[in-house]
Structure 1
Amino acid sequence: MRKRGFFNSRLRPEEDNADAINLTPLIDMVFILLIFFLVTASFIRESSVTVRRPQAATALPQSGAELIVTITADEQIWLNDAVVDIRRLRARIEELKLTSSKRSAIILADQQTSTGLLVKTMDQLRLAGFADISVAASSAGEAL
């Protein structure tokens, strides 16, 4: 009869298979969790242009806007990280082919922006079918 020692038991392949840990289900579970978190994560869209928003004591947080239009201090209109002329704004919005029925937009206007350009931008958004248009402002306690 053969002695079973530490070295003798390690040489038998049939016993090694019984002690092995199968990592395949663990890897599958990690990938499923990764896909789940990527799909359910809410992505926050922000403008790539920095503006100094005017302050308002009654400013409320707004979320879920379908479109963000930014107006800089030198009165450039930005839509999806590109400068757009006010005369082409409506056409550019219609080219985006937004599918949401909510049709809400936020205008991030610099505090130095003229009121005339802000009104023209709001008018172009309304002509493009947006009913819910908000103008972004900083709350009184928020830093600029």
Structure 2
Amino acid sequence: MKFYRVKKEAVEVNLTPLIDVVFLLLIFFMVSTTFTKESRLNLELPEAEGTPPAEELNVLELTISSAGSYSVAGESLINDTRDTLSQGLLKMSEGDTNQPLQILADAEAPLQSVITAMDVAGKLGFVQVSFVTMQPSTGTAEK
């Protein structure tokens, strides 16, 4: 008697359903994850260091109060709009945008007011814009 051996087929694991499930889980977790949005910037501004430069003549000073109101060369502006600030800077500089501009901002002044002042000065053509800070220990102005 002759016995025929039955050939065993090699066992294969079908990975297609496993890959499908893994991709579905990946898509599910990507869609269901919430991403945090930063609504405010946490800034730590540096302290002033260095020696003040020599005094420059005809320096135009723009002061920003803690309430965000502007004054140009010691004269307060009637409101805090960009147009008023632009007109005030042009009037006090007499159209000379090569004149140095110093921005003196209160420590409690809104950051948006400082950004608006820089933006208006840039659009008017002021190129020599600097900030005046206060030294924390003595309280004297530094440029």
What is the TM-score with the length of structure 1 in the denominator?
Answer: 0.52
Structure 2 partner of 1:124: 120
Which of the pair has more CA radius of gyration? 2
| Equivalence map 1:89-108=2 (5 Å) | 89-98=85-94, 102-108=98-104
Is the aligned partner of 1:75 residue 2:68? Answer: yes
Q: Which has the higher helix share?
A: 1
| Larger relative contact order, structure 1 or 2 (CA cutoff 8 Å, min sep 6) | 1
Q: What residue ranges of structure 2 are gaps of 5+ in the alignment?
A: 1-44
Does the C-alpha gap of structure 1 residues 66 and 139 become closer, same or farther in structure 2, counting only changes over 3 Å? same
Q: Give a deviation string over 1:30-83, Cα, whole Å, max 9, x none.
A: xxxxxxxxxxxxxxxxxxxxxxxx872425424326210001111110113322
State how many pairs are aligned: 91
Q: Partners of 1:89 and 1:112 in 2: how far apart?
A: 20
Asked if structure 2 preserves the Cα contact closer than 8 Å seen for 1:59 and 1:138, the reply is no
Amino acid in the other structure paired with 1:56: E
| Equivalence map 1:29-68=2 (5 Å) | 56-62=47-53, 63-64=55-56, 66-68=59-61
- Aligned identity (percent) is 19
Asked if structure 2 preserves the Cα contact closer than 8 Å seen for 1:90 and 1:128, the reply is yes
Q: Partners of 1:81 and 1:124 in 2: how far apart?
A: 18
The Cα shift of 1:93 comes to 1.7
Q: What residue ranges of structure 1 are gaps of 5+ in the alignment?
A: 1-53
The Cα shift of 1:139 comes to 2.8
Amino acid in the other structure paired with 2:89: I
Q: Give a deviation string over 1:73-102, Cα, whole Å, max 9, x none.
A: 111101133222332111222223537574
Asked if structure 1 preserves the Cα contact closer than 8 Å seen for 2:65 and 2:109, the reply is yes
Amino acid in the other structure paired with 2:94: L
